[in-house]
Amino acid sequence: MPQTLFDKIWNSHVVKTIPGGPSVLYIDKHFIHEVTSPQAFNGIGKRGLTVLRPQNTVATADHNVPTINQHLPIKDELSRIQVEQLKENCAKYDIELYGLGHPFQGIVHIIGPELGITQPGMTIVCGDSHTSTHGAFGSIAFGIGTSEVEMVFASQCVMQTKPKLMRINIDGTLNSGVVSKDIILHIISQISASGATGYFVEYAGSAIRQLSMEARMTICNMSIEMGARGGMIAPDETTFDYIKGRQFAPSGEQWDRKFAQWKELYTDQDAVFDLEINIDAVEIQPMITYGTNPGLGIAINGYIPVMDTIPDEGERKNIIKGLQYMGLEAGKQLLGMPVQHIFIGSCTNARIEDLRLVASIVKGKKKNANVQVMIVPGSQQVAAQVQAEGLDKIFEEAGFSIRQAGCSACLGMNEDKIPAGEYCISTSNRNFEGRQGAGARTLLASPLTAAAAAITGVVSDVREMMPQ
């Protein structure tokens, strides 16, 4: 029987399926961080258990670390305690930790791939919903709660009900100025913030095949923003080339063995999905959001919908509530609207290619005097690459504030917050009320669109600033 990519990986990881219940799914790789792990460590401690397979877990500190002066003790007491507990727990249970100061430290979903830990065919979990990022390598990767983190510690397994399967095919060639962030914002705007709930999504089609690994990660990263359990892309030459030679990638004979397995990871010709959606790549424009969930997005030169065009009452109320919070009006354009902050960072868009995109727009220019621009590389390695390529000079000359690696203003757990009532064009993944700080107003967009606004100080169409 023809199988989907998801089926192939799922079936090879099921230890047991409980009749009328979930499956016990074996986990190959478990990432942990300081915020969602302490209660799980406490839990196994209380039960007198230990971590069953510590070599299958990797830890980093990212969610609430400061992004300046990381060599100094963390000022915020509660954050410091969480980071210290992570250190103690990792030492106690023999788990590899890339903590502050380590050259591999960074946002958990950025370091996994860049170190070659994330590999095709794996099952990967982390106490963070953006774990879907790792699906870009053709793995089953999804976010879990802290009770499930505890389960992985205790048994290297989680209990999961098999999701329904959706395939989103994107064919054709992308327009100039359109990058992978625009693809995923477009998809979510089409199917809504809950449109993929209950599903695991495979992204396919010629437009996806043409993307780099980093661009594919941006798409899989935001799968959760339409409710999907996760997103995945079948591995191909682009994937294998990316992995080869990385720190923890297989090499020699081991590579040959893995490579033979990885080449089998694709959806068979006649495999059936519960739902298929087809999108023409040329329809996709640079995108921006106007509301308080990631599904409320429009083309950069588009108009906020007027309420008569929204048939569903619940959705209408949603948009009205969102617009009220955002201080925006139905029927209006966002283009030309002043913004006060630009945040370039997060597990969605803080990889080297994202920062190169930003540099391509701001090179030789200065930021607008009315905006503050924070640029937060996703990892120590990305930060080192920024320096190696001289991008830091471009950003400094533009007047950007270059920070150290962490989740930063994506969720505002550390000091990096957007003040109440002010607008921020953000390359992150969520525009929920208060996400970037109480009262902060977030407009999600691509690194190119963020870069354009950094220079002009207003919502801008990057296509007008690109070399012809």
Partner 1 sequence: MQPINKIHTTFVPMPMENIDTDQIIPARFLKATTRLGFGQNLFRDWRYESDGTPKEGFILNNPQYSGEILVAGKNFGCGSSREHAAWSLLDYGFYVVVSSFFADIFKNNALNNGVIPVQVTENFLQKIFLLGKEERLTISLEDQTITIDKTGESESFDINDYKKTCLLNGYDDIDYLLSMKEEIAEFEKQHVY
Footprint (CB under 8 A) of partner 1, residues 118-157: 119, 121-122, 127-129, 143-148, 150-151, 154-157
**432 near partner 1, judged by CB under 8 A:** yes
If the CB atoms of residues 157 and 217 are measured against partner 1, the closer one turns out to be: 157
Contact set for partner 1, span 282-311 (CB under 8 A): 293
**39 near partner 1, judged by CB under 8 A:** yes
Task: Kindly write down the DSSP assignment for every residue of 180-248, as one continuous string.
Answer: HHHHHHHHHHHH-TTTTTTEEEEEESHHHHTS-HHHHHHHHHGGGGGT-SEEE----HHHHHHHTTSTT
Among 106, 177, 412, 447, binds partner 1 (CB under 8 A): 412
**441 near partner 1, judged by CB under 8 A:** no
Six-digit token pair at 429? 């993944």
Contact set for partner 1, span 61-90 (CB under 8 A): 63-64, 76, 78-79, 81-82, 85
The CB density around residue 171, as the number of other CB atoms within 10 Å, is 15
Distance of closest approach, residue 385 Cβ to partner 1, in angstroms? 28
Residue with tokens 């992004």: 67
If the CB atoms of residues 216 and 430 are measured against partner 1, the closer one turns out to be: 430
Six-digit token pair at 69? 């002066």
Among 2, 11, 16, 94, binds partner 1 (CB under 8 A): 16
Query: What's the CA gap between 118 and 346, in Å, rounded?
Result: 18
Choose the binding region for partner 1 from 238-246, 361-369, 372-380, 432-440 (rule: CB under 8 A).
432-440
Contact set for partner 1, span 161-180 (CB under 8 A): 161, 163
- Enumerate helices (H) and strands (E) in the chain, giving the number of each: 15, 19
Task: Phi first, then psi: give them for residue 434, nearest 5 degrees.
Answer: 70, 5
How does 240-278 read in b/e, with b if 16+ C-beta sit within 10 Å?
A: bebbeebeebbeeeebeebeeebeebbbeeebebeeebe
Residue type, 440: A
Among 4, 36, 60, 427, binds partner 1 (CB under 8 A): 36
Residues composing the chain: 468
Among 205, 302, 434, 457, binds partner 1 (CB under 8 A): 434
Among 244, 321, 332, 366, binds partner 1 (CB under 8 A): 321
Q: Dihedral of CA 120/122/126/129: which sign?
A: positive
Query: What's the CA gap between 1 and 267, in Å, rounded?
Result: 12
| Count of residues interacting with partner 1 (CB under 8 A) | 75
**379 near partner 1, judged by CB under 8 A:** no
**114 near partner 1, judged by CB under 8 A:** no
Distance of closest approach, residue 282 Cβ to partner 1, in angstroms? 30
If the CB atoms of residues 127 and 286 are measured against partner 1, the closer one turns out to be: 127
**419 near partner 1, judged by CB under 8 A:** no
